């Protein structure tokens, strides 16, 4: 498709289970971002893949969270031993250039809604 | 730490009126700002951006104003329509390598028919 694609759109899991969320960015976009949006809250930065450079992981809330981007395209966000506070919408975005200011904008997917029971 | 925030959590306007959504930012090094609109169940969508060398930028029915002196950003929507009902986020960044957007909490705009 032409936009950023995320899967699954909804995920319900039990506390303590691991989950994987997938993001397919727009073809040719060099930068990929993961954000988390809790109910009624803004977007919390998690991690940023910037071309061939090392990712910026400064927003990951704990070592239970990790992400990888294979081949400069698809990214997977993994949450291990999920907790109820992990419940949120996880948004992926991509941009054409590494520097946001040069690219002009981020293109967001529709998000993966995670519910941890 | 640096943060981006919004003055009001919700805004209700009459259809046809103009809407003004305000945002304060605290990182004086930020030089690029974007407004996003998020409809229910969807990801944020770009509305308009502005760089710090400008104080006003106009789009279709939308205008963004930037006041660097007081670190304030606003989004004006002319002749607000029901389709404008959404959550609006301001975001800021400092351009350059390793830049990333910092988002405010968002404000809900509700348009009364």
Contacts of B36 in chain A (CB under 8 A): 108
Q: Which two tokens stand for residue A89?
A: 């919408």
Burial A104-116 (b: 16+ CB within 10 A, else e): ebbbbbbbbbbeb
B40 interfacial to chain A (CB closer than 8 Å): no
> pLDDT exceeding 70 applies to what percent of chain B?
91
Q: What is the tens place of the pLDDT at every residue in B11-65?
A: 999 999 999 999 998 789 999 999 999 998 899 999 999 999 999 999 999 999 9
Smallest Cβ–Cβ distance between B97 and the set A45, A99, A106 belongs to A99
Instruction: Give the distance from residue B89's alpha carbon to the nearest chain A alpha carbon, in angstroms.
Output: 8
Paired sense of beta strands B86-93 and B32-38, if any: antiparallel
Q: Using 50, 70 and 90 to split pLDDT, how confident is the model at A13?
A: very high
Q: What is the pLDDT of residue B7?
A: 45
With cut-offs at 50, 70 and 90, classify the pLDDT of residue A99. Answer: low
| CA–CA distance, A113 with A7 (Å, rounded to integer) | 9
DSSP 8-state symbol, A56: B
- The answer to whether residue A34 scores a pLDDT higher than 50 is yes
* Contact criterion met (CB < 8 Å) for B31 and A35: no
Cβ atoms of residues B34 and A101 within 8 Å: no
**What pLDDT was estimated at residue A59?**
93
Check A101 against B51: CB less than 8 A apart. yes
Does A22 have pLDDT greater than 80? Answer: yes
By C-alpha distance, the chain B residue nearest A55 is B98
Identify whether the C-beta of residue B41 lies closer than 8 Å to the C-beta of residue B87: no
Asked if pLDDT for residue B95 goes beyond 90, the answer is no
Contact A106 B31 (CB under 8 A): no
3-state per-residue secondary structure call for chain A: CCCCEEECCEEEECCCCCEEEEEECCCCCCEEEEEEECCCCCEEEEEEEECCCCCECCCCCCCCEEEEEHHHCCEEEEECCCCHHHCEEEEEEEECCCCHHHHCCCEECCCEEEEEC
Confidence at residue B6, expressed as pLDDT on a 0 to 100 scale: 46
Percent of chain A with pLDDT strictly greater than 70? 92
Model confidence at A2: pLDDT above 70: yes
């Amino acid at each position: 498709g032409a936009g950023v694609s995320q899967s699954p759109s909804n995920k319900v899991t039990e506390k303590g289970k691991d989950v994987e969320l997938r993001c397919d960015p727009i073809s040719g976009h060099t930068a990929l971002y993961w954000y988390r949006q809790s109910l009624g809250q803004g977007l919390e930065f998690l991690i940023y893949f910037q071309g061939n450079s090392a990712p910026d992981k400064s927003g990951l809330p704990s070592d239970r969270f990790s992400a990888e981007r294979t081949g400069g395209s698809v990214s997977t966000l993994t949450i291990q031993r999920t907790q109820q506070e992990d419940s949120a919408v996880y948004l992926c975005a991509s941009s054409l250039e590494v520097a946001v200011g040069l690219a002009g904008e981020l293109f967001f997917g529709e998000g993966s809604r995670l519910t941890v029971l | 730490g640096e943060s981006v925030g919004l003055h009001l959590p919700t805004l209700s306007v009459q259809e046809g009126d103009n809407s003004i959504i305000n945002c304060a930012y605290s990182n004086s090094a930020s030089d690029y700002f974007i407004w996003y609109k998020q409809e229910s169940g969807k990801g944020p969508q770009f509305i308009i951006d502005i760089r710090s060398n400008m104080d006003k930028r106009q789009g279709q029915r939308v205008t963004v104003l930037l006041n660097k002196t007081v670190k304030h950003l606003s989004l004006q929507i002319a002749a607000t329509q029901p389709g404008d009902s959404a959550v609006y986020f301001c975001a800021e960044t400092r351009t350059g390598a390793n830049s990333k957007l910092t988002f405010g909490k968002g404000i809900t705009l509700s348009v009364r028919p």
